[in-house]
Amino acid sequence: MRYQLKGKVVLITGAAGGIGAATARHVYGLGADLVLTDRQSADVQALASEFDADRVLPIALDVTDARATRAVVDQAVQKFGRLDVALANAGIAWKEGLSTVASCDEDEFEHILEVNLLGVWRTIRAALPEVMRNQGQILITSSIYAFLNGMANAPYAASKAAVESLGRTLRTELAGTGATASVVYPGWTATAIAEIAFGGDELATRLNQTALPALLRRPVSPEQVARGIAQGIQTRRPRIVVPARWQPVFGLRGLFNPLVDRYLDGHSGIHELLRQVEAEAGRNVRRLIPRAAKNDSADHSERTK
């Protein structure tokens, strides 16, 4: 039977971003009430202003804060009396350009994992009792990076592979309860995160053009991903791969991945671009060290006063 969104309450983290906002608009149009969260209150309030105030609850939220995430679920139940669907969508990537494992800023690497993996875990943990009570759904935004080589984007790729595994695990654990879990795999999408690979950064753009065939490089709109998510919710689809051209790669990744890795390992042009990424990232990190050392000194001075 088709899962009807009319009258259901849907929580979306990272709601002010491209995919989050487009999904909010789409499921609202299908009759859902919305709980919208993002880091900045102004961003989520601006999105909420598009909807009937009686059908939306906008809340600023840092998904790395477990207590605050639980409080969001409590507020949702207080306003609407229930929570049916939670889309754990909040995610971040490198702030400036690409970086390799050898050259990246360690704190930024760990922060990306904190948001993209542990933020998803905390969202699931907070929402799950209500979702199970209402035989609803958990959706996790992973990425094609869950099965692509994550060169120069390791923490993002690692986090997306990890949340894919988390979503698959959760679906099996929920089997027989009436509740379900799904994993969303957007391809290249025209959002702020993807801009870097489409002209926003020269090295990232060249890597993208060198590593992928033209067919797989074309970005899709957030609205296309949102339609896929909404359809996936309505049919409780376990895997939502958007656009469809990525589905053969997903289905045959056990075959493709070793071949792709071998191709990249032997591609001298890729090697040269990665060395350039490493050099540029190293310069960025070195620029931050004096400032960080100065801040550490100031912190120490404050503590000893």
Lowest model confidence (mean pLDDT) among 144-153, 204-213, 226-235, 295-304? 295-304
The predicted-structure confidence for 58-76, as pLDDT tens digits, reads as follows 999 999 999 999 999 999 9
3-state secondary structure the chain: CCCCCCCCEEEECCCCCHHHHHHHHHHHHCCCEEEEEECCHHHHHHHHCCCCHHHEEEEECCCCCHHHHHHHHHHHHHHHCCCCEEEECCCCCCCCCCCCCCCCCHHHHHHHHHHHHHHHHHHHHHHHHHHHHCCCEEEEECCHHHCCCCCCCHHHHHHHHHHHHHHHHHHHHHCCCCCEEEEEEECCECCCCHHHHCCCCHHHHHHHHHHCCHHHHCCECHHHHHHHHHHHHHHCCCEEEECHHHHHHHHCHHHHHHHHHHHHHCCHHHHHHHHHHHHHHHHHHHHHHHHHHHHHHHHHHHHHC
Average pLDDT (154-176) is 98
Decide if pLDDT at 236 tops 80.
yes
Q: Which CATH class is domain 9-304?
A: alpha beta
Catalytic residues: 156
- Categorize the per-residue pLDDT at 247 as very low, low, confident or very high, splitting at 50, 70 and 90: very high
Report the pLDDT value the prediction gives residue 286, as an integer from 0 to 100: 56
